[in-house]
């Protein structure tokens, strides 16, 4: 098991709590690393290895990414992750409040693996998080590495 399996990039602490709660309620005990903005997420992936070099040991099994983030926004994080050969195979699930078409188009163009609109209804939210976990942590086959 990797040290971090789920990377959750989300600035809103309430949404963090609800997402973690929904994952735990669905019996996913996988280690979760929460990054609170885009800069922190990029730092975590690309800048925390020994000698300041990227440490791909830190790469998660799946990244849950909010779009609207302080400093570096979600689209920029996505672009960086998907354009680097070392990180581009990390599945990125965009988890956002926005159901705007332009966000959908842009994120898919940047290489997002999935786009989920966070429902207001908590039961639906629970179901969505449960399905994300089921699919990306259990069903989906991932290249070893």
Binding site for another protein (CB under 8 A): 12, 14-15, 18, 21, 67-68, 96-100, 118-123, 125
Closest CB 1 distance from another protein, rounded Å: 28
Q: Which two tokens stand for residue 33?
A: 């690393």
Q: For residues 80 and 118, which CB has a smaller minimum distance to another protein in the complex?
A: 118
Closest CB 103 distance from another protein, rounded Å: 9
Q: For residues 17 and 43, which CB has a smaller minimum distance to another protein in the complex?
A: 17
Closest CB 11 distance from another protein, rounded Å: 10
Closest CB 25 distance from another protein, rounded Å: 8
Is 74 in contact with 105 (CB distance < 8 Å)?
no
Closest CB 27 distance from another protein, rounded Å: 15
Strands 114-117 and 6-9: unpaired
Q: For residues 51 and 123, which CB has a smaller minimum distance to another protein in the complex?
A: 123
Is 8 strand, coil or helix? strand
What's the CA gap between 22 and 130, in Å, rounded? 7
Angle of helix 38-46 versus helix 74-83 axis, rounded to 10 = 20
Per-residue burial over 61-100, b = 16 or more CB atoms within 10 Å of its CB, e = otherwise: bbbbbbbebeebbbbbbbbbbbeeeebeebbbbbbbebee
Q: For residues 56 and 117, which CB has a smaller minimum distance to another protein in the complex?
A: 117
Q: For residues 13 and 47, which CB has a smaller minimum distance to another protein in the complex?
A: 13
């Amino acid at each position: 098991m990797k040290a971090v399996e789920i990377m959750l990039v989300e600035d809103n602490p309430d949404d963090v709590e609800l997402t973690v709660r929904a994952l735990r309620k669905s019996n996913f005990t996988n280690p979760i690393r929460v990054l609170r903005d885009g800069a922190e997420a990029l730092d975590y992936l690309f800048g925390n290895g020994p000698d300041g070099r990227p440490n791909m040991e830190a790469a998660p099994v799946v990244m849950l990414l909010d779009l609207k983030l302080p400093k570096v926004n979600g689209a920029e994080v996505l672009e960086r992750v998907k354009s680097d050969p070392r990180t581009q195979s990390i599945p990125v699930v965009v988890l956002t409040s926005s159901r705007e078409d332009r966000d959908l188009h842009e994120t898919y163009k940047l290489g997002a693996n999935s786009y989920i609109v966070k429902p207001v209804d908590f039961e639906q939210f629970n179901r969505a998080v449960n399905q994300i976990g089921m699919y990306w942590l259990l069903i989906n086959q991932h290249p070893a590495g």
